[in-house]
Structure formats: structure tokens, C-alpha cells
Amino acid sequence: MTQKPLPPLRVRLAVCAAGLAVAACAWTVRPWLQEQGSVMVEAKTAGCLPWQVYWYDKKQTYRPLRRNDVILFPARGMAPVIPDGLPVGKLVAGLPGDKVEIRNGNVYINGSLIADVRYGAGKLGKPVDYWDTAYRLEDDEIFVFGTEKHSWDSRYWGPYRASMVRGRLLPLF
């Protein structure tokens, strides 16, 4: 078996120099990138949303939340699953004025079925009607939701204060 000759020394040095230049540029813009935002990675192998990596823009301009926005907020009252203060990402499924109803384990927003609580009921040893309730979201309330069946979200702990939302996340992959 014959071995292929290496590229000329000049080519190898040029490739190394280009790699060092890219690394130096990345190192130089690092503080600017950290000031602008951050890449967030889902800590669990199976998270609550179908994406694993997100961009959080720290300087995003304010705009009212919309249905299906992916948002970042600190955990509050989500024990025993998520300790208070940890950053959490979920979808906005319900907005102020929306009617939320959980009936026989099925979750409805404005009459449309969006999910059920069967997985959570099984994991927590509760009957499926344990969370049955009906309410209208108040001015500063949103219903946050994870699309995966094992998501710990507003189905189980109720509405979340919109004023506590840090911003929107951009799913990368």
C-alpha cells in the first residue's frame, strides 16, 4: 500500500496560519458576543421542547408575547421537578384573556385541545382528573407549555406571570 505524499510545507503552514487567524478573531469577538447574547443548551437529553440548542439575545427589543413564542424565564413554584431560579424555556400557549380548561385530563385553550396530563399523572401517581380546573388568564398571566409529553409546565403548576419572562429564545437546532 503506497502512502500519499503530504502537501507542500507552504500549504500546510498556510492552513495552520488560517486556523490561528480564525481562532484569534473568535477570541477577539468573544466579549462582544457574550454581551449580545448567549447560546443555551438543553441540559437534559430529552427536554420539554423538540430543540436542544437556542440563542438568547440579551439586547432584544421588547414586543408583546405571542402564541408559540419560545421564551426564557426563571423557574418559580415548579418543585419538585425544577428548582426555583433555574432558567427554563417553554412555548407560550395561552395569553391574557384566554380560557384554560383541564377536563378529564385533557388540556384545552379557548376550546381547542392542546395536550393531556396522562404522562404526568402516571409519573406522579395522581389520577388524570387531579389537575381538572377552568380559569381565564389574567392581564399578567400566560400558559407555558412544552411540546414533549414529559414536559413539566402550566398543565401542572398553573399560569406564569408574563412580567417574569426574560425574553424570547431562537431555536438553533
pLDDT recorded at residue 33: 60
Cα separations (Å) of 168 from 14, 74, 101, 130? 42, 13, 26, 31
pLDDT recorded at residue 12: 86
pLDDT recorded at residue 52: 84
pLDDT recorded at residue 24: 77
pLDDT recorded at residue 121: 93
pLDDT recorded at residue 55: 87
* pLDDT average per 10 residues of sequence, the chain (173 residues): 82 87 73 71 73 85 92 88 89 98 97 95 93 97 92 92 93 86
